[in-house]
């Protein structure tokens, strides 16, 4: 049960869905289709619908019980307008459904099923909160399941299928693009009806938030509020930016110090450059990952190797000449190993002073 162990270590509870994701039985897009009513049952995506899936649930329960975990029932509801309970199996067996809805948590965690369930359904970063209605900007034309019209730039998944905004009784809402957090927060709070608008990204293979739909009077009120305190919010953003800059400088200093500890032969100036590059806020590089922020040795090494790859080998020239990326990496691997071996040795005082 390596997948269960990994999930429990990461979040202090484990669910059957976690394990299915861990062993490859399910993929995140499968969960999205299920939550938005595109399939009736989650086991539609499972590679096994026979006794093996039942045995999997029994094995998970035995593992959790032996580990001293306690069962907590979670409510799973669809992201469609009906908010119907989601169904896991096509067999219509209550015992089986309950087993799928059970997640196993540490015995020393207070018994708060509602909070635990919320943690399960909101764990994925790209997934909107289950309390939000979700409207989709489709990549291609669709046919409304209610009126049959082939029109509209937005749809919402209903139990019958995709519905246009008119049939969903949401055509009076206005679109507020993402980008202004204060305006979005205030408009949503003031609007009695709202929905999150998402669009599928082919590059990232996930739905990404585009903005929200809100009532027009709510948007106007939110704009008035934002205009009234714009100066105060600007000053707060400036203070936050200064604080983050100080934090970044301190983090890069510690990152560079860890490079020097692991690779004492790395020139001090080079270590600082690697730390600045890897730790750039918002870059998505290894220094901004959880492992990088924790100064994990593997993350430090990945940052160092990336720098060597581009600065000390002909990797970029190979790519520009049309060499496949994996082949280019294979060719430069000995060169990277030589630099790492050299940097793993203690630096001489002369090299440190020269910064070379």
pLDDT-derived band at 174 (thresholds 50, 70, 90) equals very high
| pLDDT tens-digit readout, 182-240 | 999 999 999 999 999 998 888 877 788 999 999 999 999 999 999 998 888 888 888 88
- Residue 215's φ and ψ, nearest 5 degrees, are -70, 145
Sheet of strand 102-105, all strands in order from the earlier edge strand to the far edge: 13-14, 102-105, 70-73
Q: What's the CA gap between 267 and 322, in Å, rounded?
A: 32
CA 297-298-300 angle, to 5 degrees, is 65
Q: Which of 28-37, 121-130, 299-308 has the lowest mean pLDDT?
A: 121-130
* Section 139-155 average pLDDT: 82
| pLDDT tens-digit readout, 303-340 | 999 999 999 999 999 999 998 989 999 999 999 999 99
Closest CA to 274 of 293, 244, 253: 253
- Helix 297-311 vs helix 325-343: crossing angle, to nearest 10: 110
Q: Considering the entire predicted model, what is its pTM? A: 0.47
* Section 5-12 average pLDDT: 85
Closest CA to 259 of 248, 250, 249, 269: 269
- Residue 350 has a pLDDT of 44
Extract the tokens encoding 208: 């990404």
- Residue 125 has a pLDDT of 35
Q: What's the CA gap between 253 and 83, in Å, rounded?
A: 50
Q: What's the CA gap between 113 and 125, in Å, rounded?
A: 21
| pLDDT tens-digit readout, 64-89 | 998 899 999 888 888 776 777 888 88
Which region, left, alpha or beta, applies to residue 179 given φ > 0 means left and ψ of -120 to 50 means alpha?
left
- Helix 2-11 vs helix 16-23: crossing angle, to nearest 10: 120
Q: What's the CA gap between 278 and 288, in Å, rounded?
A: 7
């Amino acid at each position: 049960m390596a997948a269960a162990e990994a999930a429990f270590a990461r979040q202090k509870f484990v669910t059957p869905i976690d394990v299915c994701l861990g062993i490859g039985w399910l993929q995140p897009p499968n969960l999205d289709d299920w939550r938005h009513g595109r399939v009736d049952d989650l086991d539609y995506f499972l590679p096994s619908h026979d006794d093996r899936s039942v045995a999997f649930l029994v094995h998970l329960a035995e593992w959790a019980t032996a580990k001293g975990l306690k069962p907590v029932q979670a409510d799973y509801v669809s992201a469609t307008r009906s908010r119907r309970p989601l169904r896991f199996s096509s067999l219509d067996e209550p015992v089986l459904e309950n087993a799928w809805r059970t997640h196993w948590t540490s015995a020393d965690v207070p018994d708060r099923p509602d909070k635990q369930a919320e943690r399960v359904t909101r764990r994925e970063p790209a997934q909107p909160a289950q309390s939000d209605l979700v409207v989709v900007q489709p990549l291609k034309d669709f046919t409304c399941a209610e009126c049959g019209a082939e029109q509209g730039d937005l749809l919402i998944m209903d139990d019958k299928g995709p519905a246009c905004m008119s049939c969903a009784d949401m055509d009076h809402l206005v679109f507020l693009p993402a980008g202004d957090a204060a305006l979005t927060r205030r408009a949503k709070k003031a609007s009695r009806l709202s929905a999150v608008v998402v669009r599928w990204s082919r590059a990232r293979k996930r739905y990404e938030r585009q903005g929200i739909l809100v009532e027009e009077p709510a948007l106007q009120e939110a704009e008035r509020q934002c205009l009234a305190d714009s100066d105060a919010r600007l000053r707060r953003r400036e203070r936050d930016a200064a604080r983050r800059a100080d934090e970044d400088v301190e983090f890069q200093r510690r990152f560079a110090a860890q490079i020097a500890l692991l690779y004492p032969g790395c020139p001090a100036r080079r270590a600082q450059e690697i730390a600045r590059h890897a730790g750039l806020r918002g870059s998505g590089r290894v220094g901004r990952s959880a492992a990088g922020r924790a100064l994990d040795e593997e993350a430090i090494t990945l940052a160092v190797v990336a720098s060597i790859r581009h600065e000390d080998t002909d990797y970029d020239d190979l790519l520009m000449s049309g060499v496949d990326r994996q082949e280019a990496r294979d060719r430069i691997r000995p060169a990277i190993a030589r630099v790492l071996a050299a940097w793993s040795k203690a630096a001489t005082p002369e090299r440190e002073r020269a910064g070379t």
